[in-house]
Structure formats: structure tokens, C-alpha cells
Amino acid sequence: MNALLVRDLRLAFRAGGGFGLGLAFFLIVVTLVPFAVGPQADLLARIAAGILWLGALLACLLSLDRILALDWEDGSLDLLATSPLPLEAALAVKALAHWLTTGLPLVLAAPVLGVLLNLPGPGYVWTCLSLVIGTPALSVIGAFGAALTVGLRRGGLLLSLIVLPLYVPTLIFGAEAARRGADGLDPTTPLLMLGGITAGVVALMPFASAAVLRVNLR
């Protein structure tokens, strides 16, 4: 499992591997929002937490097709499916690699980009905490979508249509927790709901991903 994780991280850092693509998209979204809504500090402060969460979600979505695409292209996915390592564990490792190269940089960049959106002081901690809790679910759900559409021509659009509805609960509770924290309210309830969603997704989704991937590889 460690060797597979290291391999996926190396592939992500290579040219065309997708590392930095999501972070650049996140930066573009957050930078353009003030131009779109105007220089209204109060308005930006109210929507900052939601914009950061929406930008992070779309940035994760941008690189989902790369979770399994490179393995499909070079034939290593068939070898992985027949290896002693359970396919469920392999897909969980790939989701972890995606989070380390996409989700984690977004979490680290959120406080810096929050300055552009006039995010209130208390909101920095809660926004980062909600992203830390919620973004792993985005990667694991994305791995399911990638397994479902692997090998399809132009499957990126289909992947987006499949994954986006599954992202909605995570977005709702993540943005609500960040908003409540920014407003000085108690964010415990949405954070617990967000943690429950992530725990359930991480526990169950690799089995669903492995099942659909086995069907696609037949």
C-alpha cells in the first residue's frame, strides 16, 4: 500500500499529472469573485465561507478523472485488480493520494485566499477545520465516480454529473459550519454532521468503487 501511495504521488507531481491544477483553479475562482460582486466588504464577508467551500469543491472535481485514467492508459489497472492487495484498499489509497495532492493544498491555501474575500477573523479556523473534515469525502466520492466512468471516452462530463449530486450534503454542512464560525455562532452541529458524512463515505464508498470497477474491467 505504501508503494502504491508513493507511486500515485509521483504521478501527480509529474508534468500532466494534475498537481497544482486544482490549486490554480481555486485561486482563479476566489480572485474573480470580488470583481463579480463588487468592492463591497460586508457582502464579501457574508459569502466568503461559502465561496471558499464552493471553490474547493470545484477544484477537487477538476482532477477526479486522473485518479484512474493514467492506470487505465498504461494497463496497470488490470494488474492492480489481480494483485494480492484488495481492490477496495487500492482505491482507498488512490483517494488518499488525490486528497494529499489536491485537497490538502486547498486547505492550506484557504486562509490566504480568505483575505481576498474579507473573511471575518473567527472564520479562518472554522473554515480550515471544516475543509480538513470534509475534503476527504470529496476525494473518496470522486474515486467512486472515476471507477464508474473509467475507460469511457470523454467520461469527464459524465463523471461530473454523477459526482456533483453526491457532493451536495458535504457542501451544505461544510459551508454552514464555516459560516456559523465566521458569524460567531456555534458550528458544532454542522461539523458533527460533516464528520459523520465523511466517516460513512470513507467506510463504505471504497467497497462500492471496487464493485463497479470490477464490472468495468470484465
Domain interval for residue 162: 2-217
Highest mean pLDDT among 1-10, 116-125, 130-139: 130-139
The number of domains in the chain is: 1
pTM: 0.90
* Helices 123-149 and 188-217, axial angle in degrees (round to 10): 20
User: Residue 33 and residue 3: Cα distance in Å, rounded?
Assistant: 41
Residues 178, 125: contact at Cβ < 8 Å? no
147-196 pLDDT, tens digit each: 888 877 766 778 888 899 999 999 999 999 999 999 889 999 999 999 99
Q: What is the largest CA-CA distance in the chain?
A: 57
Q: Are 120 and 45 in contact (CB under 8 A)?
A: yes
pLDDT tens for 9-45 read 787 777 555 667 888 889 998 888 888 888 788 888 8
Across the chain, mean pLDDT equals 87
Residue 59: CB atoms within 10 A of its CB come to 26
pLDDT for 84-102, tens place per residue? Answer: 888 898 899 999 999 998 8
Grid coordinates standing for 9?
504521488
